[in-house]
Amino acid sequence: MEQQWIIMIIVIEAMAVAGVIAALITKDTKAPFIFGFNTLLPVTLVYCWYGEADLVRKALLLGMVIIYQLRMNVVLTLWYNNTAAAKLKEVMPLSAIYFLPIILANVFGWLYCLPFQWAADRVGPLNWIDYSAVAVYLVGTIFHFGSDYQKHLFKQQPNSRGQILDTGFWRYSRHPNYFGDFLIYVAFGLTAGNPWGVIAPLANIAQYMADAIPKSEKMAEERYGEAWRNYKKKAKCLIPFVI
């Protein structure tokens, strides 16, 4: 067990250091997010390597993480300029950009992956908890990737500049991609089969509500003005039809 935690520390902090080096070279927020986010898979692999769960449950866990990572790496590489993360460069000092990989790698590695500590140790056949996790994961994936893909298509239109995307997923939520991401972490939390699994989705939603959404809303209001205020009256902030 002690060896597992030593390896975890090495993996997480190695990703943090690599992210800092990349940020120093690029002076951009892109590298910190790529390295921070990609801490998920190696940490999951460590949990699965040392866990006592059977192969089916480990395969399910790794499959969910790999699919999530593949999709997000498309967003963070090919569609990065369409993300709120890309706009952070305009408001963050360079010193904060250099420190960002340390925060992201440790948040993803320790908090967001925490449910996998218990998931990788669960024994016995798949049950209703696992099936519920898969169902929530699929809904989250539809919202998360679907809304990002819709934004990508919207940004390709020549007349989209200065316009607000308010159709499809974005008709019902101003941040449907964040909502989908939150659901994915709810799914990860469910895989734990343990009340402590709630830590990951709580950390995720706290980050969105306390940091990402306020910054995104502020930048959007400054950019779109009255059009954004009118849009806010029609679309909920995060969860469609709720809040």
Asked if residue 36 belongs to a domain, the reply is yes
Note whether 201 and 188 are within 8 A (CB). Answer: yes
What is the total count of domains within the chain?
A: 1
Asked if residue 85 belongs to a domain, the reply is yes
User: For the segment 133-187, what is each residue's pLDDT rounded down to a tens digit?
Assistant: 999 999 999 999 999 999 999 988 888 888 999 999 999 999 999 999 999 999 9
User: For the segment 13-63, what is each residue's pLDDT rounded down to a tens digit?
Assistant: 999 999 999 999 999 999 999 999 999 999 999 999 999 999 999 999 999
User: Diameter of the chain by CA atoms?
Assistant: 57
Asked if residue 239 belongs to a domain, the reply is no
Asked if residue 241 belongs to a domain, the reply is no
Radius of gyration, alpha carbons of the chain:
18
Asked if residue 180 belongs to a domain, the reply is yes
Range of the domain at 180: 2-234
Answer left, alpha or beta for residue 122, where phi above 0 means left and psi between -120 and 50 means alpha. Answer: beta
Asked if residue 27 belongs to a domain, the reply is yes
